[in-house]
Amino acid sequence: MIKLLIIGASGKMGKAVYAESKKYDNIEVVGGVDKYKDPEITYPLFDSLKDVNVDVDVIVDYSRPETLSDLLDFSTSKKVPAIICTTGFSDDQVAQIKEASKTVALFRSGNMSIGINVLNNILKQISNTLFENYDIEIIEKHHNQKVDAPSGTALLLGDTIREAIKGETEYVFGRSGNDCKRQKKEIGVHAIRGGSIVGEHEVIFAGASETIELKHTATSREVFAVGTMKAVLFMAGKETGLYNMDDVLNS
C-alpha cells in the first residue's frame, strides 16, 4: 500500500487527487496539509509539514511556491519522494529542486495531463523544422482565480519549443505600444483569465499562406488527477533523481 500525503488538500486539485485515489486499491491518502480545514475531509489534516506525524511513502504537492522550502526539507530529511505539481517557481527555486533531487527522488511538471505531455512531445519533433517559415505563438486560458501568468504549462510548451529550435529565440509576453512589429526570434506567449476555464493551451505556427494550430482543452480537473496517480505509482520507491511526465509515459 502506497501511503500518500497531499499538500494543498483543501484546494480543488487536492480534492480531485483524493477522489482519483479512491479508484486504486494500492494507494491510501493518510494525511493532508492545509491551513484551511475543509469539513468534508475525513483523513488527518495538518497545518504544516512540520506537524505531520503519519508515515508517508509519496507526497503530492498542489500548493503555492512559498511552500517549497518546507516541502524540500521534509522530503530530503525523511527520504520521501515528492511530486511537485505547483507552478510559478522562480529560477532560484527551480535550482533548489534540482539540487535536492541529488539526495531524494523528486518529480516536477508544469502540467500533469497525459494529453498535454503528448502534445509537448509532438512539439519536440516539429518545432525546429517549422521555425524557419512559421511564426510561433502560444495562447493560454485559465479561470479568473489563477495567480500565476503565464501558466506553468505555457512555459513548459514554450521551453520545449525553444530547446528544439537550433536558432536564437526569445519570449515576448503579450504585446502593447505603437512599435510591435514581430521579430523572427520571438516566441509570443499570451495569458487570458476569465470565468471558470479549467485550462486551454494553443500553439500556433503561422506561415505566409497557412496556419498550423495545436490545441489542448481540459474540461475537468480530473485529467490532472489521473496523471498525478500515474506519477504516484511511478515515484513510489524511487530514491534519487529528478523526473517528469516523460519518464512516466515512457515507463
21 in Cβ contact with 29 (< 8 Å): yes
Q: Is 180 annotated as a binding residue?
A: no
- Helix, strand, or coil (residue 124): helix
- DSSP bridge partners of 58: 4
The question of whether 142 is a catalytic residue gets the answer: yes
Is 109 annotated in a binding site? The answer is: yes
- Torsion, Cα 114 118 124 129, to 10 degrees, reads -150
CA distance 29 to 186: 44
Annotated binding residue 111: yes
Q: Is 153 annotated as a binding residue?
A: yes
Annotated binding-site residue? 228: no
Please check if 194 is assigned to a binding site.
no
Grid coordinates in use for 198? 479549467
Among residues 15, 142, 201, 216, the one annotated as catalytic is 142
Catalytic residue among 3, 146, 190, 230: 146
Whether residue 190 is annotated as binding a ligand: the answer is no
Active site residue 124: no
CB 13 within 8 A of CB 218: no
Binding residues for NADP(+): 35
Binding annotation = 8-13, 34-35, 85-87, 109-112, 143, 152-153
By annotation, the residues acting in catalysis are: 142, 146
Bind-site residues for (S)-2,3,4,5-tetrahydrodipicolinate:
143, 152-153
